[in-house]
Amino acid sequence: MNAHVELENKYLLLTPGPLSTSPAVRRVMQRDWCTWDKEYNSLVQDIRQRLVALATSETELYSAVLMQGSGSFSVEAVLGSALPKNGKILIINNGAYGARMVQMARCLNIEVVELVYPETQIPDLSDIEKALSDSSITHVSCVHCETTTGLLNPIEEIGRLVKAAGKVWIVDAMSSFGGVPMDIAKLEIDFLISSANKCIQGVPGFGFILAKREQLQACKGQARSVSLDLYDQWNTMEQHDGKWRFTSPTHVVRAFYQALLELEQEGGVEARYQRYVNNQKCLADGMQKLGFKLVLDTDIPQSPIITTFMYPNTADFSFQELYENLKQAGFVIYPGKVTDLNCFRIGNIGEVYLEDIQRLLAAISVYCQK
């Protein structure tokens, strides 16, 4: 019994996903499910409806598709299915996940126009407007929350330019959907992509796409992959009451349903957003008091998801030593991902509360005094 308790509470994941989940989310995975069973497929349908309702008040315009694999599988499903053979995509890249979209598109032999910015800079709207004068561009994509640094890209402003130019608008909201309030109809998003193990606080195993029904219909026959055929996956779920084409991650799906219920019990996205904001502010203020500098300038929009800190300017600092020390204290943090900067990242989403952030800061303070 003691060994089980010790395993349950070994450490808190302060990462942008996978993240620490509630005991109830983990507990519901102890039952097995049959993918052909009506009860299971009804659960899938309920999840799809709840996701659309979380995303917009104009629920009749949108539908949800669940896709096996990590969130990147869902991004690749959209790129590989939404763009016709003669399509051309403008990708706004100011971080590792924008760069990954570029890599995917090129691997799929999709023509790409790339706007590249440093990881610590938001995109220039005038650059985007100028790029959109290319009439051969059919689609535009951008990451909302770049967890490379934690910045929030201005998808509302970018979206206005995209729709004014008559392009299809794709948003990777992997690390923001469910934790940052938004209405995708008002934002005029055609495809929004996220994952089970982010702000909704489920476990890894599938991603999902929220898309306009008319755009999903337009994907028919365009997929560059069988497994990642977005239209076929959506159409099967539509026509067969929630059935997946291939074996689905049943335990993960059930955990996600529980996580959706817990999001609702917390007070919805607005309440969760406020918890994340409070966590992030406590973390950023506390770390700065301990002498750590933020990577992002104060004029760059900082997400409430993850924060990036510079290494202290001391010759004896070792991130690995800090990491191991904090792991022993019950916390796991993330190494940095910014090119040419010595930094590390701390996430505060998941089953994480102010008292957890305060305990983390106390552990870092003890480490700094060694």
The predicted model gives 175-203 an average pLDDT of 98
Tell me what the mean pLDDT of segment 169-182 comes to. 97
* Residues 152-163, mean pLDDT to the nearest whole number: 98
- Tell me the C-alpha distance between 136 and 130, whole Å: 13
Using DSSP's 3-state secondary structure scheme, residue 73 falls into: helix
For 90-112, b/e burial (b = at least 16 CB within 10 A) is: bbbbbbbbbbbbbebbeebebeb
Amino acid 110: pLDDT: 98
Scan for tokens 């950023």, then name that residue: 284
Task: pLDDT band for 3, please (50, 70, 90 cuts).
Answer: very low
Q: How confident is the model at residue 9 (pLDDT cuts 50, 70, 90)?
A: low
36: exposed, middle or buried (C-beta count within 10 Å: 0-12, 13-18, 19+)?
A: exposed
Give the whole-number percent of the chain exceeding pLDDT 90. Answer: 92
Digit-coded pLDDT (tens) for 323-346: 999 999 999 999 998 888 999 999
Q: pLDDT by residue (tens digit) across 239-297?
A: 999 999 999 999 999 999 999 999 999 999 999 999 999 999 999 999 999 999 999 99
Q: What is the pLDDT of residue 6?
A: 41
Residue range 196-203: average pLDDT? 98
Q: What is the CA radius of gyration of the chain?
A: 21
Residue 33: Cβ-neighbour burial (10 angstroms; 0-12, 13-18, 19+)? middle
Average pLDDT, the chain: 95
pTM comes to: 0.95
Residue 4's pLDDT band (boundaries 50, 70, 90)? very low
Taking Cα atoms as reference points, which of 115, 111, 112, 168 lies closest to residue 138? Answer: 168
CB 331 within 8 A of CB 14: yes
Three-state secondary structure call for residue 175: coil
pLDDT > 80? residue 5: no
- The domains of the chain, with CATH numbers, are 2-19+268-368 (3.90.1150.10), 24-264 (3.40.640.10)
